[in-house]
Amino acid sequence: MGHFIPKDTLVLVNIWAVHHDSKIWDNPSKFNPYRFLTEDGKTLIDHEGFIPFSLGKRSCVAESFVRKWLFIFVVTIVQNFHIKSPNHREEIFDEKFNRISSIENGSLTTFFNNFIYKLLNFLSEFHCIIETKIIQLVQKLDQCQLNLVILEMKLKSLNGPSETDQNGEIKCDDSNENRHNLDKDIAESNEIVNTENRLQKKAESCPEKSEEISIDVQNGNDNNLQIYKRMLKFGVHEDGVRQKMLFDGVDPSLLNL
């Protein structure tokens, strides 16, 4: 019995043709769920051989789930809705199909969709992550803007007054004299910092002269603090100046002296 199938043969079952075969089904295009019941309407006919859902090792993993869920779905629909044929063309169908009485007042029983719940939960967590990332980016942008303001103020304090054009843009004087003054101011600033470092190292190596050296360090700090005090006069925020002092290795508490 059966058919000989050569090796490596691919078999495609035409399920649509099976479902619409008039030799198997009486009027297959007509919706008639009673075709699967016996004449008394109580016993379900075994129709697995006529309606293949899947075959062999290639069977669908959702087949058992669908078979269990489909019954609950149909019962819920029948219980909550009045289903009738268009224009009452099939009174027999209406009479048999609506033998199940619906819930009073037409109320519906709803079930929470677990898939939607999981999706919303994922989006909520994603929203929290995005909000944190945005806050961090805004803080970085503010920090960059603050650093730019500090650099601009330092350049203005070193270059002196600058000219502005009609559009309000700053014009820097690139003359040799201003360049010489700028290099001189930068060298003096570096000399102050280097002097402070040398004094601190000398104080560590000579404890007996620490008191005398600390006075010199304080004087160096006073000279170095003039730069930060000038930044405050130019309108730079105090927190920004203190952060710049930390970046330069200067104690921010000296600003209160």
Q: Which residues pair with 25 in a beta bridge?
A: none
Q: Which of 216, 236, 212, 234 is nearest to 224 (CA)?
A: 216
Which helix (H) or strand (E) segment is 163 a member of?
Answer: strand 163-164
**Residue 172 marked as a ligand binder:** no
- Name the H helices within 1-113: 15-19, 63-80, 91-97
Distance in Å from the first CA to the final CA of the chain = 106
Q: What angle do CA 190, 195, 201 make, to 5 degrees?
A: 130
Determine the longest span between alpha carbons in the chain, in angstroms.
117
- Asked if residue 220 lies in contact with residue 192, where contact means CB atoms within 8 angstroms, the answer is yes
Q: Three-class SS of residue 1?
A: coil
- CA neighbor of 55 nearest in space, from 22, 17, 14: 14
Q: Which residue ranges are tagged as binding site for heme?
A: 60
Q: Which residue ranges are tagged as binding site?
A: 60
